[in-house]
Amino acid sequence: MNTLINGLCLGGIYALIALGYTMVYGIAKMLNFAHGDIIMVGAYTIFSTLALMGHPIPAVIVAVVVCTVLGLLTERVAYRPLRGASPLAVLITAIGVSYLLQSIAQLIYGSKSQSVSMGNLGSVTLFNNVSVSISSILTLGLCLIIMVALTLFVKKTKVGCAMLAVSEDRAAAQLMGINVNGIITLTFAIGSALAAFASTFYLMQIPSVTPTLGSMPGIKAFTAAVIGGIGSIPGAMIGGILLGVIEKFALSVPVLAPYTTAIEFGLLIVILLFRPTGLLGKKRREKV
Amino acid sequence: MALLEVENLAVSYGLIQAIKGISFEVNEGEIVALIGANGAGKTTTMHALCNLIPKQAGKVTFDGKDVTGVAAHKLVPMGIAQVPEGRRIFQELTVAENLRLGSYTRKNKKEIEESLEKMYERFPILKERSKQIAGTLSGGEQQMLAMSRALMSHPKLLLLDEPSMGLSPLYVNTIFDMIKQVNSEETTVLLVEQNAKKALAIADRAYVLEIGKIAKSGKGAELLEDDSIRRAYLGG
Ligand SMILES: Nc1ncnc2c1ncn2[C@@H]1O[C@H](COP(=O)(O)OP(=O)(O)OP(=O)(O)O)[C@@H](O)[C@H]1O
Ligand SMILES: [Mg+2]
């Protein structure tokens, strides 16, 4: 029972990160490999603001603002000049941005891990004497709220509809009067803000931060996005949660624990073998 | 002054010049046809007009304003709508969502609803299918949707790139009737067509494009009688 809850929490975190990958891929048609490092920046921002103010809530707000601005900035400075360039050039740039962010963090904070205490919220005892930490409940609840809100935003608002249009056919979207650059910018902003929330929940689970903190959850979330079908928003949610639950269950079985990562990536391979576009991915329709 | 004036437009794909300096104009209230064989450069012209692809040279004036370098999305609120070749409806969105995207740049909610009602009135099938995913519509229905979607922006000038492509004769007639009707409601039309016969029949004036150059122009009815045109585009 506890493993399930922990798995769902981790899955929620993966899902938030995976949403950033999948939305940027779907709309800007690029793999933003620096996305994981936005989480790291978010974590350091929380670390610093916490040291200054001592309360986690303003720290989270500052992190959301910093990450969003950083997302906008990288899009503007690094990726927008490459719009229309070969995907490989964009990918290499993204990897460059990733190293850049890691190096800057190392310069400022050093390479040693710093501990961040988000404060102990204690735990509650549910039925059957299962005790669950409040931070887990918070993580789960907030992840759920964020995902529902995002789904509603995309499905029910005009701008959300424009995002879907841009993701399907950029030229046709322009002919509707949609400012494609504006929509791409917005997508980066949303993805980065979600990353800031992911760093918050990450720190609630693992209270320490290093310059490479973003790499592993970044890669796992990317895997989750591909499992769910990259470009698909519900796919990222399902893929993230699936991966988180599998990870926690594998870790809880002593024989499997050392192979957890191998199991996760193995799952990716198996799913791609049977469904090359991921669980909810669509086949690319050829344009006339 | 004409509603749309194109002067010496040239477009290149790399080293290949697809449009070699063409000039034409569309007056307010007209239907103007642009006809030509496959690869003549009709779609290239339409894309360049809306700045979906860069122009190599030339000047475009719309409604008295120089719009040569105006970004595609900004032309829509100025009054230019295009139904691109191959319809390009948003396959994964519903019929209603497609239509509403057509009015993306309009602000007045009441007028948008009125336009929507008008589209549904013209093609009741669209109302019936409003919640259906657009990709599941038949080709003819998709073309009706694409044209209605473009009209949702309430354009002064409607650019149509081969609206009859791949349609059965019955649907071709529906679409051409619609073009005439829309034109009579004060929308100016620039029509690109393979179906030269039908296009010339409804056009006030027409231009014939041959490998990137305008080879002929004149009244629609006159070109319909022109021997060289009959031989090249009307099958004898
Ligand atoms: N993206 C592109 N890159 C290179 N060449 C292109 C591109 N698009 C079109 N062309 C070339 O430009 C020329 C004009 O093409 P265009 O699509 O404008 O013709 P068209 O008159 O619309 O033909 P059709 O009736 O078949 O639609 C053709 O020779 C075509 O091969
Ligand atoms: Mg064409």
Averaged pLDDT for residues A248-263: 90
- From ligand 2's centre to the CA of A27, what distance in Å? 26
Q: How confident is the model at residue A285 (pLDDT cuts 50, 70, 90)?
A: very low
- From ligand 2's centre to the CA of B195, what distance in Å? 12
Nearest in space to B100 (alpha carbons), one of B76, B114, B116, B78: B116
The domain spans of chain B are 1-79+155-236, 88-154
Give the pLDDT confidence score for residue A135 in this predicted structure: 84
Best residue in A175, A277, A285, A288 for a mutation probing chain B (most B CBs within 10 Å): A175
Cβ-in-10-Å burial (0-12, 13-18, 19+) of B74 comes to middle
d(CA A244, CA A237) in angstroms, rounded, equals: 11
Pocket test for ligand 1, best of B9, B11, B44, B45 (most atoms within 8 A of CB): B44
Nearest-by-Cβ selection for B72 from A168, A175, A288: A175
Q: Which atom of ligand 1 is nearest to B37's Cα?
A: 25
Do A161 and B100 lie within an 8 Å CB cutoff?
yes
Share of chain A above pLDDT 90, in %: 64
* A286 has a pLDDT exceeding 60: no
Which position has the higher pLDDT, B61 or A205?
A: B61
Nearest in space to B139 (alpha carbons), one of B125, B151, B157: B125
The domain spans of chain A are 2-109+130-274
Averaged pLDDT for residues A76-100: 92
* A130 has a pLDDT exceeding 70: yes
Give the pLDDT confidence score for residue A188 in this predicted structure: 95
Is B194 touching A (CB cutoff 8 A)? Answer: no
Query: What are the chain A neighbours of B153 within 8 Å (beta carbons)?
Result: 176-177
Per run of 10 residues, the mean pLDDT along chain B (length 236 residues) is 94 94 96 93 96 95 95 96 95 95 95 95 95 93 95 96 91 92 94 91 94 89 82 71
Rounded to 5 degrees, what angle do the CA atoms A8, A34, A41 make? 75
Give the pLDDT confidence score for residue A284 in this predicted structure: 52
Is A157 touching B (CB cutoff 8 A)? Answer: no
Confidence (pTM)? 0.90
Do B82 and A288 lie within an 8 Å CB cutoff?
no
Give the pLDDT confidence score for residue A288 in this predicted structure: 34
Give the pLDDT confidence score for residue A283 in this predicted structure: 60
Give the pLDDT confidence score for residue A1 in this predicted structure: 75
* A62 has a pLDDT exceeding 90: yes
Give the pLDDT confidence score for residue B218 in this predicted structure: 87
First to last CA, chain B: 37
What is the phi/psi pair of residue B205, to 5°? -135, 165
Give the pLDDT confidence score for residue A118 in this predicted structure: 76
Residue B81 host element (H or E): strand B80-83
Topology adopted by domain A2-109+130-274 = ABC transporter involved in vitamin B12 uptake, BtuC (1.10.3470)
d(CA A161, CA A155) in angstroms, rounded, equals: 6
Residues with CB under 5 A from ligand 2 (ion): B 42-43, 85
Interface ipTM: 0.93
User: For residues B77 and B38, is the Cβ–Cβ distance under 8 A?
Assistant: no
For the domain made up of B1-79+155-236, the CATH class stated in words is: alpha beta
Distances (CA, A) of A278 to A8, A227, A230: 20, 5, 7
Query: How far does B151 lie from chain A, in Å, by closest CA?
Result: 10
What is the phi/psi pair of residue A237, to 5°? -65, -50
* A119 has a pLDDT exceeding 80: no
User: Within 13 Å and on the Cβ side, how many CA atoms surround B99?
Assistant: 25
* A126 has a pLDDT exceeding 80: no
Q: How confident is the model at residue A287 (pLDDT cuts 50, 70, 90)?
A: very low
Nearest in space to B178 (alpha carbons), one of B208, B205, B141: B141
Which position has the higher pLDDT, B190 or A125?
A: B190
* A111 has a pLDDT exceeding 80: yes
* A253 has a pLDDT exceeding 80: yes
Share of chain A above pLDDT 70, in %: 98
Q: 3-state secondary structure string, A140-157?
A: HHHHHHHHHHHHHHHHHC
Report whether residue B47 contacts ligand 1, using a CB cutoff of 6 Å: no
Averaged pLDDT for residues A159-179: 96
Mean pLDDT of chain A: 90
Is B163 touching A (CB cutoff 8 A)? Answer: no
Do A164 and B88 lie within an 8 Å CB cutoff?
no
Distances (CA, A) of A66 to A19, A42, A192: 19, 7, 9
User: For residues A282 and B93, is the Cβ–Cβ distance under 8 A?
Assistant: no
